[in-house]
Structure 1
Amino acid sequence: MRSATTPLDLLVPGPEHLPPDPAETRLAALYETPAGTPSVRANMVATVDGGAWGADHLSGSINDDADWRVFRVLRAAADVVLIGAGTARHEGYTALDRPAGLASAAEQPLELALVSRSGRVPQQLTTGDRPPLVLTGAAGARTAARMLPADRVLALPAAHDPDEVDLRAGLAALADRGLARVLCEGGPTLLAAMLADHLVDELCVTTSPLTVGPGPSRIVAAPPHGPVDTPAGGVPAAPPAPARLAHLLHAPGTGTLLARWLLR
């Protein structure tokens, strides 16, 4: 387990020095979201050349202690972590424990919610007394119901395709369960869908002082097949949408940057 030993400097607004603090009181205040207030916050890490993971295909190989400090604060303040089932499987997610001892930590357990078109749940999450919630479509709900208790399966068919997941309805269903503060941890495909539907209120991005070269996805994944008339078979970008910088942290020992961008 990492220990929070890396100091941070608040650059915007600032300057202000944020030394390691077991309770992370000042850091928690920077990311505070009132309890009961619906919000969707995404948290991702990327290298300076845009890679979302390292040579081992895991995001843990490109983060560091500075990122870990913010990661713990964001989880402590959330009601539920939302993640794509494929990413949960690949990154080895298990039932979540809320980070202890932090100033912003809520009392109720931290829930895990998976988005899965197929309804397949990673094996490591099907056992134990804290199974995840699964947000899925019509066909996926039948699959998930064979693996999890019925009350943990949320069938949310999209209007254009009943086997796709209606993410907006999924967020409403989570809020109805008292899970209003959503922390989306990706992966890139889920984040792309959330951004396309304008469901993300803020995007927290750690820029790690590393390069990984070609290969890894961006933190926002492109669809598998782009229109044929785009350059090199690429995917056309959506019209630029505004983002407002709420704050920017800098780890002076490494150069890691941690930005909080408000999207609406």
Structure 2
Amino acid sequence: MSEQQGPVTRTAVVTGASGGIGAATARLLAREGFTVVCAARRLDRVQALAEEVGGVAVQCDVTDPDDVARLAEVVGPRLDVLVNNAGGAHGLDPVETARVEDWERMYAVNVIGTLRVTQALLPALRVSGAGIVVNVGSTAGRVAYEGGGGYTAAKHAVAVMTETLRLELVDQPVRVTEVAPGMVRTEGFALTRFGGDRERADAVYAGVAEPLVAEDVADAIVWMATRPAHVNVDLLVIKPRAQAAQHKVHREP
């Protein structure tokens, strides 16, 4: 992306931007004055989003090295904000009977995808002189729960990767942060987890009057990303008031 004359245009990349937290984050970053590179597998959806926010659409599967290389080419030599949001959960089976393919898919997207994109864009983040990486983790990256072995393993890995990268870049002009949401009701997360089973997806939120929504998490991400360059918000855990812990959720009768 070519630099404009005059003040440097601030740019941001959001992966998994085709819906939910990613799309909400792209919209809010655009309102804050960023040119947003909206990256996701579903090109039609990110094209519509990019047109809406005055950004750039890139079709990108974060597990595909060629796609990630193309994303880096579009971004160019300078980047201010990277939001690694692409991820997701598949299945809610016990470890004993879980599908290995589900675990592999979750690890590939949540962990290896985040790694690929971060490696590809770190040089551009350094050039900005005040770059920031915001990894979208989860409270599942801190607490185990029955049936969540594959997802919690992946999100624990994201948490440790974030902590390790922060140590390794302590002398670099790049901040490394994580936002860890709890129960967030978006149009796709639970449906994806249960293979499109609407009844099971809806049951996740049954009786919870006010789960988080995508805009709540986006607000947290953008707040983190727009702190002064010397301020690093290592970890921000955000949950609805009704969720005291992974296993403790108040549900109305």
TM class by smaller structure? 0.3 to 0.5
**Larger helix proportion of the pair:** 2
When normalised by structure 2's length, the TM-score is: 0.32
Which structure carries more relative contact order (alpha carbon 8 Å, separation 6+)? 1
When normalised by structure 1's length, the TM-score is: 0.31
For the pair shown, the structure with the greater C-alpha radius of gyration is 1
